[in-house]
Amino acid sequence: MQRAPGIDRAQDTRPRGACGHTAETDAPPAPVIVRTALVVDDDLAIARLVGRVLELNGWHTLVADAPRSALALSRRATIDLLVTDFEMPGMNGLDLAAQLWRRHVDLPVVVVSGWPDLVRLVAGPQLAFVSKPLDPSLLLSRINALVTPPAGPGAMPYAFGEPSGATI
């Protein structure tokens, strides 16, 4: 059914479902699969900024400013990705990843560090490295390489932005 000319959606008084679509004309949206990323950095402002970048690209995020807090969060929620700073007080990012891998064997991990030589030490099928200053598009590219899109009917692949050259 087409709308009459001059009638916009705000004036359309047909009954709508909870999602705002009508049974007559609008198809329901495709199912969206939300994954959860745990972002850990002892600089809470950086952790929140990285979390926001991920949220803008379809992730639900949990943010922690210390590895111990991150471990506590991981016991209360299902984690699909860890993005962690390398150097933090009490425990480094790789040690945090090792502890999380005990419960989440296939957990993808992105380690962020200002140490460029760390890239030679960080390698593995579920592990990627991003250097500081952090380029959000590079971070998203590394995540995309680690995270396998969900399979099954109605599943939507993940699409992350193109490299921007901006840094955090």
CA 150 distance to own-chain centroid: 14
At 2, the pLDDT band (50, 70, 90 cuts) reads: very low
Q: Quick one: pLDDT at residue 83?
A: 98
Q: Quick one: pLDDT at residue 115?
A: 81
Q: Where are the domains of the chain?
A: 35-146
Q: Quick one: pLDDT at residue 64?
A: 97
CA 19 distance to own-chain centroid: 24
Residues found in the chain: 168
At 123, the pLDDT band (50, 70, 90 cuts) reads: low
Residue type, 1: M
**32 pLDDT more than 70:** no
- Which whole number is the average pLDDT over 79-100? 95
Class of domain 35-146: alpha beta
